[in-house]
Structure 1
Amino acid sequence: MTTGSSEETAHDRVYRSVRVALVSGQYAPGEPLSIRTLCKEHGVSATPVREVLRRLESDYVLVRGANRALTVPKLSVRDLRDTQRLRSAVEGLAAVMAAERANDEDIAEIETLYADMESALANGRVDQYLGLNWAFHKRVYETANSDLTLHIIENLWLRSGPYLRPLVANAVRDGSDTRRTRSMRHHRDCLDALISRDAEAAEAAISADISDAAEELVSALKAAHDAKLEDAIPLEIIA
């Protein structure tokens, strides 16, 4: 018989895992989350998985899709732009605080994550890069030493994370060194700003990273819509 405490532990473990999967782009917009699959992946009963999915629905992270399955939402362009503006404001502030509060250990860990990102991107390892991208950003924001700010940022990434995969996949498929360099330039600028404790430059680097990715994503979604591919964008909100 499963005890209440073990069920709670299973709930927390599945909840953290699904959140990490969402922020690192492992789920695609419109993709349903299977209770059976999550149970198998985590070796738990259906009860904690159902509780996790309901919790994510109450947090507006998941929505009811076909057959009322809980699904990663497809955001409109307006939603994506709103998320971009919120992320730029909050993550920019976190970058400022990180530059003001970073110590040598923080910098060393962020440098290691940056090097790992470069290697993953150069070798076409999309899943690894996506995980490292979130790890890099999270480590920067942890350096700000503000639990509230980090919580807000994680919730915003839950909405934007599923849209990161096509951008990274395109960068990997595109053999152009220029495109790959562009995808990492802002991360390097952020790291350099932290090393020099330049709060203004750190904020600018993070804001530019978010803005460039958002504009590239919106362009890709509009192109998909114009080509009459899958309905990733609600027709009534294109701009």
Structure 2
Amino acid sequence: MSPPAPTTPTFSTVKHENMGSQVYLILSLALIEGRLKPGERLRIRELAEEMGTSVTPVRDAILRLVQDGALIMRSARDIRVKQISLAEYLEIRDIRLELEGMAAARAAEKATPTDVERLEQLITENEDAIKQGELITATGLNQRFHFEYCKIADMPILLDILRRLWLKMGPLIAEVYSDGGRDMIDGHYALIDAMRNRDGQAARIAVQTDILSGGQAILELKRRQEL
């Protein structure tokens, strides 16, 4: 008996899989950029209507984000952005100190004047957003700044690891940005100086200092929540 012929994917299957990936990317970006906050509830049907798709790709994307540890599904009708604990935050912070510090050091060695100008532009836009009280925009620009120097470092595996961490960090930063936004941007200037000087060690220290000082508001919030 000959083996069955391989199944040829239909266009609808391909379209469905592609749509699921698109929805996953949209929701991931909303988490990473802080447009969703810890404890915020997501409703599958409302998201599907907003995105102009069926509930299936939205449900699939949400299940992937549950597996990523970014969402909590208590039931089919109760899906929320995860509230991470103090211990989880400290672990993520320690990992970021090492990985983002490494990326910053590498970026300082590789950065072109155009790369530095791009980072400066992000800082300028972030400053403007803070002055205008556009905190959602400012939070997103903060994330883009951190990812940009990781891209300059040309370390795609490291960037993918950080993307998963920022699925949890984005909402948390958004929760405190109104209190800690200034501290979360001041350290970026030191990194720019280090990159101009091609000083990898100074760049590493600048980013690590930024993560620690900018995370003080998060640390205080988490300690209050666990009292």
How does the TM-score come out when normalised to structure 1? 0.84
Q: Superposition RMSD on alpha carbons, in Å?
A: 2.0
Taking the TM superposition and a 5 Å limit, the aligned residue runs for 1:95-110 are: 95-110=104-119
Q: Helix, strand or coil: the match of 1:70?
A: strand
Q: Is the 8 A contact 1:92 1:206 kept in 2?
A: yes
How many residues get paired? 218
Q: What amino acid sits opposite 1:151 in the alignment?
A: D
Deviations 1:122-179 (A, max 9, x none): 111101101111111111110011110100111111111111123212257xxxxxxx
CA contact (8 A) 1:36 1:46 kept: yes
Matched residue of 2:40: which SS? coil
Amino acid in structure 1 at the alignment position of 2:193: D
**Counterpart residue type for residue 12 of structure 2:** T
Whether the aligned pair in 1 keeps the contact of 2:188 and 2:210 (CA below 8 Å) is yes
Gap change, CA 1:147 and 1:183, over 3 Å in 2: closer
Q: State percent identity of aligned pairs.
A: 30
Matched, 1:128 2:150: no
Check whether the contact 1:32–1:65 (CA below 8 A) recurs between aligned residues: no
5+ residue gaps, structure 2:
1-9
Cα drift, residue 2 of structure 1: 7.6
In the alignment, the residues of structure 1 paired with residue 129 and residue 157 of structure 2 have an alpha-carbon distance, to the nearest angstrom, of 31
Amino acid in the other structure paired with 1:36: R
Aligned match of 1:177: none
Matches within 5 A, 1:77-156: 77-156=86-165
Structure 1 residues without counterparts, runs of 5 or longer: 173-179, 226-232
SS in 1 for 2:36: coil
Q: CA deviation at 1:93?
A: 0.7
Contact (CA 8 Å) 2:194, 2:200: kept in 1 or not?
yes
Give the secondary-structure state (helix, strand or coil) at the position aligned to 1:65.
strand
TM-score for both structures, normalised by structure 2 = 0.88
Moved over 6 A (4+): none
Q: What corresponds to 1:229 in structure 2?
A: none
State whether residues 126 and 142 of structure 2, in contact with CA within 8 Å, keep that contact through their aligned partners in structure 1: yes
Paired residue for 2:206? 205
